[in-house]
Amino acid sequence: MSSTADVAAARATKARGSGRRSGITMKVVSTVLGAVGTVLAASFVIFVALSFAPGDPVAQLLGSKATDEARAATSAKLGLDDPLLVRYWDWLSAALHGDFGTSFTYRTDVIELIKPRLETTFLLVAMAAVLMLVVGIGLGTIGGVSRRWRPVVSALAGLGISIPTFVAASVLISVFAVQLGWFPTFGAGEGLADQVEHLVLPAVALSISYGAYVTQLSSAAVRDEAGKEYVMTSRGRGIPSRRILRRHVLRNAALPVMTASGLAIAGLVAGAVVVEQAFAIDGIGSLLISSISNKDYPIVIAVSLVIVVVFVVVTTIIDVAQVLLDPRQRGDR
Amino acid sequence: MTVPNPNAATGLDGDQPLLEIRRLGIELTDYLPPRVLVQDVSLTVRAGESVGLVGESGSGKSMTIKAAMRLLPDNANVSGDINFDGRSVDKLSRSELAAYRSGDVAMIHQDPRSHTNPMRTVGEFLIEGVVATRQMKKSDANDKAVALLAEMGIGDAGRRMKQYPHQLSGGLLQRVMIAASLMNEPRLIFADEPTTALDVTVQSEVMAILMEQIQDRDLGMLFVTHDLDLAAAVTDTLVVMYAGTVVERGRAEDVYIHPRHPYTAALLASRPSTTQVRRLVSIPGRPATAYEVGDGCAFAARCPFATEQCRSTRPPLRPVDDSQVACHRSEELAAVLKEAASA
Amino acid sequence: MSAIALDNTTTPAGARRSKDKLLVVSGAVCLLVALVAVFGTVLAPHPPDQTDVLNASLGPSADHWFGTDGLGRDIISRAMAGARVSFAGAGFIVLGSAFLGTTLAIFAAWNGGWVDRNINRVLNVMFAVPGILVAVLASAIFGAGFWAPVIALTIVYVPFYARVVRSSAVRECKMPYIEGLELAGVSSWRICTRHVLRNVSPIALAQATIAFGSALVDFAAVSFLGLGVQPPQAEWGLMVADGRSEILSGAPQQSLVAGACIVVTVVAFNVLGDRLSSRIGADR
């Protein structure tokens, strides 16, 4: 004996049901396309910006004593006389095949320079990410759930977020490497175990401020969720608190926590640049800095692009996950 | 699973009220001095009886039923007694409280949408109450939920169970809430303005379903609302609250036709008339909360009949004819009030 | 009949009327640091640039409260001088990005539709490039120094502002009284500046205070990398970098003092901004 409104709603939902799955797919596809577009746009902007940078690649390659003809020939070979858009297009099409050009200073393919350093940076970021997620989310959950610990967690997080990565690095080196001698002071080491040992302090330094960010957001998310009215309703139905926490509060808070974690991981990639300098680690971050000093722009563009791609990939994964996991965003209604 | 009551007087169970609230007081402790929200409220609900708790916003009615389920926030200090089946609700241990909440009583809230977890299906919501408290197996709970939904007039209940709250309309969702409240077979239902958040056309349907269930199962009900007409239509006893205290209490038809407190009469008089075209009468001023009123009668500032005595001395709740009224001048004003209400 | 005596303070439910001690303390610290930034060179016990190689890398002493750096310069004096540069950098960044971001946000919120969508798209692209990268690239293009990182970071911070202010501006623009003003023929410019801006500025201000800390850190980071302020100028990030070699030889004073200055300042500004935000939230 349902009312006419309910019958109508039932019919409409049935009709939409078949379109529902394609609705999600559409959203995911459009998000991914948007990400690709963003990367392309960013790469274009970076390319154009760097074309105005000082430094003469021809002089770098040939030295200052080269003849004018030699210069002109090299210039033409490098395609430096072509208009900007053509140069961008050439670069882009080569890049999509994995060819990022040749370094002016090292005289080797840029891609070969990037690959090993990328592994080092990846290991560093991975270690920092694990640390950040475990400690960050753990503390955040405690802070959100327990009223007693909340001010402590909040203060710790507030402090952590205020400590810049390079300051943390200095303190850690000073205390743990120099004074206590527990860890090596710089470098990335050889072989996996040695590398991990070398990267412990850098990973800790890197994870502090981003971990604090994750803690703050997790704490807020858990706290918000625990304060929602349906939690009170569940308590009123006699459901044990433990179960409410596990099945409702934490599960619902998982979504914003995941978003915050993703953003923090993306931030780690950017922060790696600073940490690598502080600990003299030969990763893509220090490659970027040194190639800027050397005005070796093929490397600069390539590394910048790598960083942007990683950044965008991480944020896109978060966006897609949000669409998939939140029933309200699936566009059922 | 209900709370066994070793203290129930044998042989007099029929007279033992299901819910007894005696001199309830609620104050918020994070103010200095503590803010009083509810003062000296007493009422009873017997098995099979529907009691309407009527008042405007700030009257403390919602706080009262939350207190009865021990759902008040930590900063609220409760004084007085609340007894269910003779046992003090305040003194229940953790597990007894869970048993009380999951077996003896149930609450229907005002806005179904904010009281359901948007990330869980309707079915999960319905069965969680009984499954988590280990009263039923999951499959049995599912069957019962489907059966209850059908009783609510929800067609295609099986499909509805798999949907999420945002896919249901307000009226539908409130019917789900009613079903959820009946899942654990309570003896008393607290209804906190169950139809206020709904469209008018849906309100009467939902009320009809609710009343049908109450009557079929012979449940007690404490029905909170600001709508005096609605309360008078569906309840046996009316309790009128103002500024955190009870100002009048009596049989519904009696209070409705023959109000004995100026506030009740004013409420009745301020309803738009369906028979005459005339200006709306309103009570001057705005509803007060308990902590805003000083000594004397809480309603004195807005009462057209207030005297010096009214402003200085708080009137106690005393029997006047068949009702209980908190007014110094109730008897002398009887005729005036009756006329004002029927106008 | 008399009106009901009202409690004059309309504090929102549950809010305490206690004085906000954190607000006062953090505000005081921020003020103190700002004063040092402005008057630092006058208050410093030693000239910040005076080298004294014979007394290099000394620990704390009566003459040099926090010791000396690798070139014998007094650390605390350098820190005070550095306050000025760091503050100026962060200040410009915050002011610039607040101005641009708020303007952009109100513009987008007011015009809505196509304008709003496209501005959002541009902002999304800007979010895609991490701030440090932009600052570093800017140094590459324009050379190291003070202004390249400042301008770059200003641009980087605009989207953060714009996003926060925009949502508030959108809400404001939808309010009925705005529509009323429009209908009454008041010019868009006037509505936006006199009304929308006024109601949005508390949020922008709170955001600016919070952003100050981040801007300080980012600016110092760029200098740390060697791409910002150059020696022999005093700047906190630069001092941390300078002090690295001394850390290895067991004299961490320079890095630690400069680092501590940064942390204390950032904490103070973050707490201040947070307190301001919750005040604004409570008033709404």
Q: pLDDT digits over B154-192, tens only? A: 888 889 999 999 999 888 899 899 999 988 889 999 999
Residue A129, pLDDT score? 93
Contact C270 A158 (CB under 8 A): yes
**Identity of residue A68:** D
Distance from the B97 Cα atom to the nearest Cα atom in chain A, whole angstroms: 7
**The tokens of A266 are what?**
């993306």
Q: Which pair of tokens denotes residue B61?
A: 């009615």
Q: CA A208 to CA A161: how far, in whole Å?
A: 7
The DSSP bridge partners found for residue A168 are none
Cβ atoms of A42 and C128 closer than 8 Å:
yes
- Which chain C residues touch B56 with a CB distance below 8 Å? none
Average pLDDT of C68-75? 77
Cross-sheet strand order for the sheet of B245-251: B105-108, B188-192, B220-225, B50-54, B237-242, B245-251, B323-325, B318-320
Least CB-CB distance to C14: which of B30, B292, B293? B30
From CA A312, how far away is CA C127, in angstroms rounded?
A: 9
User: Distance between CA B132 and CA A246 in Å, rounded?
Assistant: 12
> What local confidence, expressed as pLDDT, does residue C204 receive?
82
pLDDT at B14: 55
The separation between the first and the last C-alpha atoms of chain A, rounded to the nearest angstrom, is 23
User: Is the CB of A46 less than 8 angstroms away from the CB of C240?
Assistant: no
- The answer to whether C208 touches C147, Cβ cutoff 8 Å, is no
Gap between the Cα atoms of C166 and C101, Å rounded: 9
Mutate to test the interface with B, among C1, C9, C10, C19 (most CBs of B within 10 A): C1
CB-based contacts of A185: which residues, under 8 Å, 6+ apart? A173, A177, A178, A279, C248
Q: Are C71 and C53 in contact (CB under 8 A)?
A: yes
What are residue B87's DSSP bridge partners? Answer: B84
pLDDT at B133: 79
What pLDDT is recorded for position C147? 87
Closest CA to C210 of C160, C142, C167, C258: C160
Mean pLDDT, residues C218-227: 89
Chain B residues touching residue A326 (CB < 8 angstroms): 119
Domain C45-283 has CATH 3.20.20.120: no
- Asked if A311 and C130 come within 8 Å (Cβ–Cβ), the reply is yes
Q: What is the DSSP secondary structure assignment for residue B306, as one 8-state letter?
A: -
Q: What is the predicted pLDDT for the residue at A63?
A: 66
What is the share, in percent, of chain B residues with pLDDT greater than 90?
12
* Structure tokens belonging to residue A285: 């971050």
In contact, B298 and B290? CB cutoff 8 Å: yes
Helix axes A84-96, A297-325, angle to 10 degrees: 60
DSSP of C58-87: ----SSSTT-B-TTS-BHHHHHHHHHHHHH
Flag the least confident range among A65-74, A126-135, C89-98, C182-191.
Answer: A65-74
* Confidence (pLDDT) at B296: 82
Q: Which CATH number is associated with domain B19-235?
A: 3.40.50.300
For the whole model, what pTM was predicted? 0.76
pLDDT (0 to 100) of residue A77: 67
**pLDDT tens per residue across span A60-112:** 666 666 677 777 777 766 666 677 788 788 888 888 877 777 777 777 888 88
Q: How many CA atoms lie within 13 A of A81 on its CB side?
A: 7
Rounded to a whole number of angstroms, the distance from the CA of C190 to the nearest CA of chain A is: 35
Four-CA torsion C36, A210, A288, A202, nearest 10 degrees: 90
ipTM (interface pTM): 0.79
The answer to whether B117 and A230 have CB atoms below 8 angstroms apart is: yes
For the ranges B6-15, B24-33, B73-82, B236-245, which has the lowest average pLDDT? B6-15
Q: Which of B293, B294, B301 has the CB atom closest to C1's CB atom?
A: B301
The low-confidence residues of chain A, meaning pLDDT below 70, are: 1-22, 55-66, 76-81, 188, 329-333
Q: Given an 8 Å threshold on Cβ–Cβ distance, is C2 in contact with B288?
A: no
* pLDDT average, residue stretch B35-58: 88
What is the pLDDT averaged over residues C181-202? 79
Distance of CA B266 to the CA centre of its chain: 21
SS3 state at B151 = helix
**Letter string b/e over residues C21-46, b meaning 16 or more CB atoms within 10 A of that residue's CB:** eebeebbebbeebeebbeebbeebeb
Query: Which member of A38, A174, A295 has the closest CB to residue C252?
Result: A174
Beta strand ranges found along chain B (DSSP E): 19-28, 35-45, 50-54, 76-84, 87-88, 105-108, 188-192, 220-225, 237-242, 245-251, 318-320, 323-325
Tell me the pairing of strands B76-84 and B50-54.
unpaired
Q: What's A29's DSSP letter?
A: H
Contact C156, C135 (CB under 8 A): yes
Q: Tell me whether residues A6 and B164 touch, CB distance under 8 A.
A: no
- Is the pLDDT reported for residue C281 higher than 70? no
The nearest alpha carbon in chain C to B287 belongs to: C4
By mean pLDDT, which of A288-292, B146-150, B328-332, C182-186 is the weakest?
C182-186
Residue count (chain B): 343
> Domain boundaries in chain B?
19-235, 260-342
pLDDT for the residue numbered B9: 36
Alpha helices in B133-199 (DSSP H): 138-151, 157-161, 170-183
Q: What is the mean pLDDT of residues B324-335?
A: 84
Q: What are phi and psi of A41, to 5 degrees?
A: -60, -45
Whether the per-residue pLDDT at C14 is higher than 50: the answer is no
Instruction: Report the pLDDT value the prediction gives residue B10, as an integer from 0 to 100.
Output: 37
Per the model's pLDDT, the better-predicted residue between C193 and B167 turns out to be B167
Residue B51 scores a pLDDT above 90: yes
Q: How many CB atoms lie within 10 A of CB B144?
A: 19
Strand pairing partners for B44? B20
Q: What's the gap in Å between the CA of B270 and the closest CA on chain C?
A: 18
Write the pLDDT tens digit of every residue in C239-271.
Answer: 888 888 888 777 788 888 889 989 999 998 888
Distance (Å) of CA B173 to CA B18, B180, B195, B213, B305? 28, 10, 11, 17, 45
For residue B114, the chain A residues in CB contact (below 8 A) are: 228-230
pLDDT band at B52 (very low <50, low <70, confident <90, very high): very high
CA pseudo-torsion sign C149, C154, C155, C157: positive
From A159, A171, A274, residue closest to C225, measured CB to CB: A274
Report CB contact under 8 Å: A10, B172. Answer: no
Q: Do A270 and C132 touch (CB under 8 A)?
A: yes
Predicted confidence at residue B249, as pLDDT, reads: 92
**Residue of C4, C9, C17, C18 to mutate, interface with B, max B Cβ within 10 Å:** C4
**Nearest-CB residue to B102 (from A7, A237, A333):** A237
Instruction: Quote the pLDDT of residue A131.
Output: 93
